[in-house]
Amino acid sequence: MKPLSSSTKRLRFAALAVVLLSLTGGGWAFVFVLNSNTGLPIKWPAGTVQLHIMLGSDRELSDGSTFNSSAAAAAESWNTVLGSVRLVPIQTSGNAAQRNGRNDLVFATTVYGQQFGENTVAVATGFSQGNERIESDIIFNSARTWDSYRGPTRSGVQDIRRVTLHEIGHLLGLDHPDEAGQNVAAVMNSRISNLDALSEDDITGGQSLYGPPGVPPNDAFANATSITLADGRLTVNGHNTNATKEPGEPNHGANPGGSSVWWRWTAPEQGTMTVETRGSYYDTTLGVYIGSTVSSLTTIASNDDINPGIIQASSVSFTAIRNTTYHIGIDGWDRDTGGITLTLNFAPSATAIPVILSPPASVVALQGGNATFAVTADGAGPLNFQWSFNNSDIIGATNAVYTLSGVSNANAGQYRVTVSNPFGSVTSNPATLTVTIPAPPPITGGGGGGGGGGGSPSVWFLGALLAAALGRLLQIRLRRA
């Protein structure tokens, strides 16, 4: 009988809920009817939920309503605060039927042939499979005296409006906060009170399951909510009700989903970051990425379930690099939606092995010129560097930057750098040095060449011309003599 929403089971899960809520710093007391296998609330899938209200419309009550219209008004009260489901009251007549896929609200003398018990005013029954509710009926004890009124409760007269508010809360998946040891003003408390409308606690409980009306502000990747941790941790709340998936967006947790929301966080230093969705009110999927546009993200980590099918919250851990911005996408398995509790825990790495942030780049240098290789790395200090050339360590090359002067062909080859600290080491991919020979210097001596036209005549040519001229001049003078 473990699936029953028993006080015993409720205690266990309520205790869990209280722990989770205390972790979030929330002051809410709402509790849920839970799937005993997954620990997740049993709720309706997104869409409409028809209520067949068969309480009667032939009698005018104290507030001018009828039983049917008063119950319908209770349903509308819930509608104004819920996002992913809409209750559709259908005022009709007939008898309750169990397990017929219809949600009936009726007066009756028995609950499917069983007596209410002397003290029982109304009974809400529910049918569910997995985390989904598939039918719920509310049966009001017709042996009681009923009316519809606001304000303080009247002795011996039940107010159909507030009882319906309460029972619809059960139909939606809420349970009694006072039975979980909480002390709050709530229509969902196990005892009726002078409270005749939904309280903040009731509304927050309902919105944890179904979200508020409207689209969440962090629906789009570009509108990701920025997160700043306090003392290395933070829990934030949100919801993915009515959220959408963008073109090119990756599948978080390897599930297509369809209702994602986004947060972003920039690592202040290197360390281990754990992101998880425990305490969320639906079956989440989670992905962590780097990149600037939603259609070209690089996946850092991704998860659907912590324990597949059993713990349907998601969790990932990864090594975060200083000054890197991580985008956290949260969706729902098979488009599931609801309240999100996102917890981030960051442990700066006092023992972090080195990580190369920017590897050395290949260089082309002129023979006789200089060549410089550089690496940027992070990790627990101090960091040590050792450059190597064609897999042989270079003596004295132990800084983040390595420069060769007067390079020659003998220096051409592959250069790597190994970065190490007391906790480990990492070696870069090779960077190649290519040495080029400078363009040959212009010819300044020796014959030949010539020709080609244009340009200045060579010295040899001019010299020869001058010699020829001098020879000619000498011949002329010898003839005259």
Contact set with other proteins (CB under 8 A): 1-9, 11, 15, 33, 35, 42, 97-100, 110-130, 153, 155, 162-163, 166-167, 170, 175-184, 189-193
Which helix (DSSP H) or strand (DSSP E) does residue 293 occupy?
Answer: none
Coil, strand or helix at 253: helix
Instruction: State the nearest-atom distance from the C-beta of 247 to other proteins, in Å.
Output: 36
Question: What length does the chain have?
Answer: 481
Instruction: State the nearest-atom distance from the C-beta of 79 to other proteins, in Å.
Output: 20
Instruction: State the nearest-atom distance from the C-beta of 28 to other proteins, in Å.
Output: 14
Instruction: State the nearest-atom distance from the C-beta of 124 to other proteins, in Å.
Output: 4
Nearest to 348 by CA among 409, 267, 403: 267
Strands 384-389 and 413-421: antiparallel
C-beta of 165 vs 417, nearer to other proteins: 165
Instruction: State the nearest-atom distance from the C-beta of 72 to other proteins, in Å.
Output: 18
Name the residue type at position 372. T
Instruction: State the nearest-atom distance from the C-beta of 314 to other proteins, in Å.
Output: 24
**Residues 6 or more apart whose Cβ sits within 8 Å of residue 128:** 3, 35, 42, 134
C-beta of 163 vs 328, nearer to other proteins: 163
Nearest to 331 by CA among 399, 283, 393, 388: 283
Coil, strand or helix at 471: helix
Residue 396 DSSP code = T
Residue 306 φ then ψ, to 5° = -65, -45
C-beta of 117 vs 447, nearer to other proteins: 117
Instruction: State the nearest-atom distance from the C-beta of 181 to other proteins, in Å.
Output: 6
How far is CA 201 from each of CA 9, 81, 282, rounded to the nearest angstrom? 22, 12, 19
Q: Buried b / exposed e across 73-90, counting CB within 10 Å, b at 16+?
A: bbbebbeebbbbbbbebe
| Cα Dmax for the chain | 161
Asked if the peptide bond before residue 382 counts as cis, ω within 30 degrees of 0, the response is yes
Instruction: State the nearest-atom distance from the C-beta of 117 to other proteins, in Å.
Output: 5
C-beta of 80 vs 110, nearer to other proteins: 110
Coil, strand or helix at 148: coil
Instruction: State the nearest-atom distance from the C-beta of 136 to other proteins, in Å.
Output: 9
Nearest to 85 by CA among 215, 207, 216, 175: 207
Q: Cβ distance 185 to 201 under 8 Å?
A: yes
C-beta of 160 vs 371, nearer to other proteins: 160
C-beta of 2 vs 480, nearer to other proteins: 2
C-beta of 28 vs 373, nearer to other proteins: 28
C-beta of 42 vs 46, nearer to other proteins: 42
Instruction: State the nearest-atom distance from the C-beta of 40 to other proteins, in Å.
Output: 13
C-beta of 124 vs 215, nearer to other proteins: 124
C-beta of 62 vs 293, nearer to other proteins: 62
Query: What is the number of alpha carbons within 13 Å of residue 247 lying toward its C-beta?
Result: 0
Instruction: State the nearest-atom distance from the C-beta of 384 to other proteins, in Å.
Output: 55
C-beta of 135 vs 219, nearer to other proteins: 135
Q: Buried b / exposed e across 214-242, counting CB within 10 Å, b at 16+?
A: eebebbbbeebbebeeeeeebbebbbbbb
Give the position of tokens 């011996």. Answer: 156
Nearest to 340 by CA among 329, 326, 348: 329
C-beta of 177 vs 216, nearer to other proteins: 177
The distance from CA 20 to its chain's CA centroid, rounded to whole angstroms, is 19
Q: Cβ distance 353 to 424 under 8 Å?
A: yes
The count of other CB atoms within 10 Å of the CB of residue 334 is: 12
Instruction: State the nearest-atom distance from the C-beta of 175 to other proteins, in Å.
Output: 7
Coil, strand or helix at 355: strand
